[in-house]
C-alpha cells in the first residue's frame, strides 16, 4: 500500500494518474487530502481517500495504518518542518518501511538568500534518515510551470524584469516529475537513493525571453533590473511583504547560480529526454 500526501495538488494528483496508467492497482493507493470535497475525484478513481492534514497527528496516524510506502510531498507553510516531522513520526509509529520525499535540487543551501525556507527540505531528509527508514529523495528543480509567477502573466507585452543576471536554472516540467515519481514508487531498486530531477539543460532568463519571442512572434526583452528597483516595483504592484521576500530570495539564488545542477537522473528514470523548455512554455503561456 502506498500513501500519497498532498494528493489533491498538481504533483500528487498527476503522480496518482501515472501510477494508474502504469498498471498500479488503484486499491493499493491511499491519498491524504484535507477535505472530503478535495478527495471526491480521487475516490471516483478507486483511490482510498484519507482525510487529514500535517498538523493533525491523529489523522496522520490513522491514514498511515497498513502503509508500506509513503510519498511525502513537501508542504508550503512556514512551520512545514514540524509538519513533515509529524508525518514521519506517524509513519514510524505505524511501521512504514520506505519514505519518498520531494525536496529541492540546490547546489548549496547555506548560501541561499531564503535558507530559512529551503533548509527545511534538507532537515526533513536528515530526519527521515535518522529515523531508520529506507528512503528515496527526489530533489526537484524549479517547475517550468511556475515561470509565469516570476515573469508575469503578460510577459509578451511587458517583457521580463528580474534581477537574476546570467544565472541559469534547469527548469523542469511538472508532468515529467509526476511520471518519474510514479515510476520510482512502483519499481524496486530505488532504496536509499538521492535523485536530482532536473531537465538536464540550463536556461537563463535571457533564454526564456528568447523562447517566448519565438513562440509569440513578438520581441520579449529580458531586463536585468537592480534589486532595489525590482523591490520597489513589487511594492507598487501591491504584493504582500512575505511574497516580496520570497521573490527577491529566489531571484538572488538564480543570480548566484545555486540552481545550476546538470543531472541526467530524470532522463534515466523516464527512459527518454525530459520535456524541453519551449514546449513547456507553449503550454504554460497558452500559445
The model's pLDDT over 233-260, given as tens digits with 9 standing for 90+, comes to 999 999 999 999 999 999 999 999 999 9
- What is the residue-averaged pLDDT of the chain? 96
Q: Mean pLDDT throughout 222-230?
A: 96
> Per mean pLDDT, which range of 91-105, 128-142, 151-165 is the poorest?
151-165
**Does a structural domain hold residue 64?**
yes
Q: What's the rounded Cα separation, in Å, for the pair 133 and 177?
A: 23
**Does a structural domain hold residue 70?**
yes
pLDDT bin (cut points 50, 70, 90) of residue 50 is very high
Grid coordinates representing 62 are: 490513522
Q: Tell whether the model's pLDDT for residue 284 goes beyond 90.
A: no
**Does a structural domain hold residue 287?**
no
pLDDT bin (cut points 50, 70, 90) of residue 286 is confident
What is the pLDDT at residue 153?
A: 78
Strands (E), 111-254: 134-140, 160-161, 168-169, 193-197, 203-204, 222-223
- Reference 136, options 82, 88, 68, 70; nearest CA is 70
Domain count, the chain: 1
**Does a structural domain hold residue 95?**
yes
**Does a structural domain hold residue 280?**
no
CB 11 within 8 A of CB 177: yes
Q: Mean pLDDT throughout 32-51?
A: 95
Q: Assign residue 11 the CATH number of its domain.
A: 3.40.50.720
**Does a structural domain hold residue 255?**
no
What is the pLDDT at residue 41?
A: 94
Q: Do strands 168-169 and 203-204 pair parallel, antiparallel, or not at all (unpaired)?
A: antiparallel
Backbone angles phi, psi at 155, to 5 degrees: -60, -40
Which domain range does residue 120 map to? 2-140+173-197+262-274
**Does a structural domain hold residue 168?**
no
* pTM assigned to the model: 0.95
Amino acid at each position: 500500500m502506498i500513501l500519497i500526501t498532498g494528493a489533491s495538488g498538481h504533483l500528487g494528483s498527476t503522480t496518482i494518474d501515472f501510477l494508474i496508467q502504469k498498471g498500479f492497482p488503484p486499491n493499493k493507493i491511499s491519498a491524504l487530502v484535507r477535505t472530503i470535497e478535495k478527495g471526491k475525484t480521487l475516490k471516483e478513481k478507486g483511490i482510498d481517500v484519507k482525510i487529514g492534514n500535517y498538523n493533525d497527528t491523529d489523522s496522520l496516524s490513522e491514514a498511515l495504518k497498513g502503509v508500506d510506502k509513503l510519498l511525502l510531498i513537501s508542504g508550503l507553510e512556514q512551520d512545514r518542518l514540524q509538519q513533515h516531522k509529524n508525518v514521519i513520526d506517524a509513519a514510524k509509529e505505524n511501521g512504514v518501511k520506505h519514505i519518498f520525499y520531494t525536496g529541492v535540487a540546490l547546489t548549496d543551501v547555506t548560501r541561499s538568500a531564503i535558507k530559512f525556507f529551503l533548509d527545511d527540505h534538507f532537515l526533513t531528509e536528515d530526519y527521515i534518515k535518522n529515523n531508520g527508514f529506507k528512503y528515496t529523495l527526489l530533489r526537484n528543480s524549479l517547475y517550468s510551470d511556475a515561470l509565469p509567477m516570476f515573469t508575469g502573466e503578460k510577459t509578451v507585452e511587458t517583457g521580463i524584469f528580474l534581477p537574476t543576471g546570467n544565472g541559469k536554472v534547469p527548469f523542469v516540467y511538472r508532468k515529467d516529475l509526476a511520471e518519474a515519481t510514479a515510476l520510482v514508487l512502483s519499481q524496486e531498486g530505488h532504496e536509499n537513493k538521492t535523485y536530482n530531477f532536473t531537465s538536464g539543460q540550463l536556461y537563463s532568463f535571457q533564454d526564456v525571453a528568447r523562447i517566448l519571442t519565438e513562440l509569440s512572434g513578438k520581441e520579449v526583452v529580458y531586463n536585468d533590473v537592480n534589486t532595489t528597483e525590482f523591490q520597489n516595483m513589487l511594492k507598487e504592484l501591491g504584493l504582500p511583504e512575505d511574497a516580496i521576500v520570497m521573490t527577491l530570495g529566489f531571484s538572488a539564488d538564480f543570480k548566484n547560480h545555486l540552481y545550476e545542477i546538470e543531472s541526467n537522473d530524470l532522463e534515466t528514470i523516464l527512459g527518454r529526454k525530459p520535456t524541453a523548455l519551449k514546449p513547456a512554455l507553449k503550454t504554460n503561456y497558452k500559445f
